[in-house]
Structure 1
Amino acid sequence: MPRSAPFQQHHRRYDDWFEHHAAAYYSELLAVRALLPWHGRGLSIGVGTRRFAAPLGVRLGIDPARAMLSYAARRGVIVVQGVAETLPFADASFDYILSVTTICFVEDARAMMAEAHRVLKRDGKLVIGFIDRGSTLGREYLEHQNKNAFYREASFFSVDEVEQLLFATGFNKMLWVQTLVGCLSEVYAIEPLREGHGEAAFVVVRASCF
């Protein structure tokens, strides 16, 4: 089964998650906002229902799941159906790229980052948000992975693995922030942003293209 299939089949359930876990969602959103550039032409890889791209002002998004793109289009994004490993854009087309909780669902994470590097301008920024596999929440997802329609096909990454992939595909100057300490069921309020990584589940890294 393609890793995008659950998002095509359960698109309403996916979008509803952000309403049912509003405190966690806004914690993640603020963490991404802290590292996302304010200006320039941006692209959202794995735009989904545009829960991150819309409030952060990213006008263009790509996703393989057509049902997800219908949500994004209604929320004002220009949508393209496609995959992260083969982006249908010219070299050096973007000032920054946003990718939130997408890396664990692509078929080839290294190819995704290589493509991001190709379409970014020199010194462009790649901002990736993901669940750290070694965190409390990451271990919880792994423990129940086979019972979750979305994470059944996912490949979770550690911070070290993401860092190695970034270096291997031509990125440097990495900045890290994190949020969500403990289990998701214990998040009742927006959590403060922390620098670095290793203490919280949701990690955001901004890397420069060189």
Structure 2
Amino acid sequence: MLRRLALVGVLVLTACTAQPDRPAPTPTPTVAPLTVAQATKAALRVADLPKGWDGGIAPDPIPTLRLPITYDPAGCRLLRDPLRDREAPTTSVRGQYVLRGDSPSDDKDATEVIASWSSPQLPLLRSITDALPLCRTYSGSLDGSSFKLFARQLPVRGLRDGIALRFGDPDDPKLKSGTYSAYVVRGGTVLALRADSDTFPTDAAFAQFVTTAVARLDAAVG
């Protein structure tokens, strides 16, 4: 009897020691976020824009629209406001640029946000890209008013690790109104651009705006 118990004990001990060790969780890679000075340097200057523009850059601790908008499908929010409801960035600056008209009501504007985290942001860009096929047309509500929009990718020659988007009313075949957005990732930094189609009346004009902003970003951060 003692022999049998000893044998059982050995078998149990062997079974326990044969269990493979659980692999340690892969640590999240880290990157150095931009400082405020670096982010400011990476932002557009009025001198980068055509004649007639003015504006400036300032630190912005809350780089999101924070508007009470709902989307259907819900994932389409990523196309319009991907920085919303995320962990606050280590650094964020906002550039507000205005194209002056004959009167204040004729002014047109464009917004740039450069936000930087200590973790790589390519997963955010992939999420935006993955959401696009589901959001060719989508609906939503803002302050009780409903809307329906289309979204399509806007080609920008030479754009790396980024996406540009055109939004508009599906019932407006001549695209007389709408908005543009673009998101570009460099390491832990996201460049976000937004403007109305009144500000950039052609796709090519917004694409050039994106190219100019990305060139400034790459010159500053490499």
Taking structure 2 as the reference length, what is the TM-score of the superposition? 0.29
Larger-Rg structure: 2
Greater fraction of residues in strand:
2
Taking structure 1 as the reference length, what is the TM-score of the superposition? 0.30
